[in-house]
Amino acid sequence: MAYENGVLVYGEAKDGRLLSITGELLNVGRQLADSLGQPLSAALIGEGTAELAQEAIALGADKVFVVDDAIFAEYLHDLHVPAAVNVAKEVDPYIILAGQTASGRDLAPHLAFHLDTGIAIDCTALEIDSSTNRMRATRPFSGGNFRQVIGVKTQPQMATIRSKAIDGAAPDTSRTGEVVNVNHGVDASQSRMKFIESKPIESEGVRLEDADVVVSGGRGIGGPEGFEGLEDLAAIFDGGAVGGSRAATDSGFTAPERMVGITGVIVAPNLYMAIGISGASQHLAGCGGAKTIVAINTDEEAQIFGSSSFGVVGDYKQVVPAFAEEVKKLLQG
């Protein structure tokens, strides 16, 4: 195969809607495709995905390859990987992108193996090198302390994108494109896997990864009771949510699913408040995409201040209430 037909993005959907990672992939995919002067395609594998094809077109896809079957309702390696391989062979793309998500981390490397190509994992930026017309990928390593720029010598060139590292595409409902239904050729009876059940975590309000404002606490909060004050602060903001460092979640100060970091939730809000957090590289890798970081810590040497837009050296028990009152005044008038 020539592997030269533009850019192919593997989108993700859940409960009848495209997940935010799909918009992020289509945004960077559109930029790469435009730089190459080639088309952007999207693959949607799942149940009910045919109904989402026009939404993917509005987000930038020129052509959407749909695999719509009840056997793909939940991600199963034995079913999704061969379906993804079949789509890739039909599209014959120059570049393939997937999300660095729970399913993407499984799908993409296996897809690269089946296509006999290399892959750049967990990237935060992609671009086309004008001198070679090949993809150049930027990815963090060593806990986020460093960035490396790499390329893939084989074709198709592949990469996974870290969630929230890139802004999602803005929908344009006037866009038109082509929808192609793909015969996946997968025999579900041959799968060694079976989906039993899922138990979603019950939560109130906005999801942490979707929040515009995230108020996070660390070991310096002192205990679970300290997080009650953070809840009150987050509630002042429309779209606010509470997170925590590994130290805080490991200590039982707050729920494990609230952990912000390279092995937890990756967030990129407009405002990130790090309260009583020292700023370990693993934590910063999870919040470094925030547009503004405000740190409050009693230790003026805390590493978090080096990555903050604004910093306050002081006791959060005094700073946070005063800050909350000022925010209320600003919002009221």
pLDDT at residue 205 above 80?
no
Q: 158, 190, 222 — which closes off a domain?
A: 190
Q: Which of 300, 260, 253 lies closest to 281 in space, CA to CA?
A: 260
Q: Which of 263, 253, 255, 309 lies closest to 286 in space, CA to CA?
A: 263
One domain for residues 227 and 150? no
Whether 41 is in a domain gets the answer: yes
Q: 157, 190, 223 — which closes off a domain?
A: 190
pLDDT tier at 204, thresholds 50, 70, 90:
low
One domain for residues 83 and 186? yes
One domain for residues 82 and 47? yes
Q: How far is CA 148 from CA 133, 137, 197, 292, in A?
A: 19, 8, 39, 24
* Residue 188 structure tokens: 């579900």
pLDDT tier at 190, thresholds 50, 70, 90:
confident
* Residue 226 structure tokens: 């300290």
Whether 197 is in a domain gets the answer: no
One domain for residues 92 and 220? no
Whether 163 is in a domain gets the answer: yes
Q: What angle do CA 202, 207, 208 make, to 5 degrees?
A: 115
Of all residues in the chain, the percent with pLDDT exceeding 90 is 76
Q: pLDDT of 263-286, one tens digit each?
A: 888 888 999 999 999 998 889 888
148: left (phi over 0), alpha (psi -120 to 50) or beta: beta
Please report which residue ranges of 49-170 form alpha helices under DSSP H. Answer: 53-58, 77-91, 104-114
| CATH for 257 | 3.40.50.1220
Burial 232-253 (b: 16+ CB within 10 A, else e): ebbeebeebbbbbbbbbbebeb
Please report which residue ranges of the chain form alpha helices under DSSP H. Answer: 20-36, 53-58, 77-91, 104-114, 224-236, 246-250, 281-287, 316-332
pLDDT of residue 203: 63
Angle, helices 77-91/104-114, rounded to nearest 10 degrees: 50
pLDDT of residue 140: 82
One domain for residues 50 and 175? yes
Q: pLDDT of 45-72, one tens digit each?
A: 999 999 999 999 999 999 999 999 999 9
pLDDT at residue 176 above 80?
yes
One domain for residues 135 and 269? no
pLDDT of residue 318: 94
Whether 155 is in a domain gets the answer: yes
pLDDT of residue 285: 84
pLDDT at residue 158 above 80?
yes
Q: What angle do CA 301, 304, 309 make, to 5 degrees?
A: 110
One domain for residues 236 and 122? no
Q: pLDDT of 128-141, one tens digit each?
A: 999 999 999 999 87
Q: Are 264 and 244 in contact (CB under 8 A)?
A: no
Whether 196 is in a domain gets the answer: no
Mean pLDDT of the chain: 92
| CATH for 68 | 3.40.50.620
Beta bridge partners of 63: 41, 178
pLDDT of residue 24: 96
Q: pLDDT of 34-49, one tens digit each?
A: 999 999 999 999 999 9
Domain tally, the chain: 2
pLDDT of residue 198: 81
* Residue 299 structure tokens: 């230790």
The boundaries of the domain holding residue 76 are 7-190
pLDDT tier at 2, thresholds 50, 70, 90:
low
One domain for residues 215 and 186? no
| Alpha-carbon span 301 to 278, nearest angstrom | 9
One domain for residues 106 and 239? no
One domain for residues 120 and 242? no
pLDDT at residue 96 above 70?
yes
Residue 149 DSSP SS3: strand
One domain for residues 139 and 243? no
Whether 100 is in a domain gets the answer: yes
Whether 97 is in a domain gets the answer: yes
| Residue 269 burial (CB count, 10 A) | 26
Q: Are 309 and 325 in contact (CB under 8 A)?
A: no
pTM (2 decimals)?
0.84
Averaged pLDDT, 296-311? 94
pLDDT of residue 171: 96
Strands 13-14 and 17-18: antiparallel
Residue owning tokens 């802004």: 167
pLDDT of residue 3: 62
Q: 190, 216, 249 — which closes off a domain?
A: 190
Whether 202 is in a domain gets the answer: no
pLDDT at residue 165 above 70?
yes
pLDDT at residue 169 above 80?
yes
The residues near 317 (Cβ < 8 Å, ≥ 6 apart) are 226, 229
One domain for residues 119 and 239? no
